[in-house]
């Protein structure tokens, strides 16, 4: 997610994701051009799993996104999804 979304504040959207039981465990990576310390701190405080500064160089950006995909989709072990309320397996 970017911090500067067209219609919504990225941090507010992240807070909403984290406050909803159905989405709170979704991995969220902030991918933005901002390197401001206050943005980095605010992103992690809001619940980001990672904060990555976008490169302005297209080839570096494409390489970084490829590496991100490898990590998030192949290497990272995600927590189990929370059971739906009312599911027989729900605690």
In contact, 28 and 58? CB cutoff 8 Å = no
Q: How far is CA 72 from CA 12, 15, 26, 28, 62, in A?
A: 23, 21, 11, 10, 15
Whether the CA torsion 57, 67, 24, 53 is positive or negative: it is: negative
In contact, 3 and 33? CB cutoff 8 Å = no
* pLDDT digits 0-9 by tens, 37-62: 999 999 999 999 989 888 778 888 88
The predicted model scores a pTM of 0.70
Classify residue 85 by burial, with Cβ atoms within 10 Å: 0-12, 13-18, 19+. exposed
Delimit the domains of the chain by residue range: 10-75
Q: Examine the pLDDT at 3 and tell me if it is beyond 60.
A: yes
Q: Examine the pLDDT at 31 and tell me if it is beyond 70.
A: yes
Q: Which fold has domain 10-75?
A: Rossmann fold (3.40.50)
Tokens 């991995």, residue located:
27
């Amino acid at each position: 997610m970017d911090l500067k979304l067209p219609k919504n504040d990225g941090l507010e959207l992240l807070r909403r994701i984290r406050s909803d039981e159905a989405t709170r465990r979704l991995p969220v990576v902030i991918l933005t051009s901002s390197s401001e310390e206050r943005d980095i701190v605010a992103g992690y405080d809001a619940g980001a799993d990672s904060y990555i500064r976008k490169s302005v160089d297209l080839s570096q950006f494409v390489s970084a996104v490829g590496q991100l995909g490898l990590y998030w989709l192949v290497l990272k072990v995600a927590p189990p999804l929370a059971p739906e309320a009312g599911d027989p397996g729900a605690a």
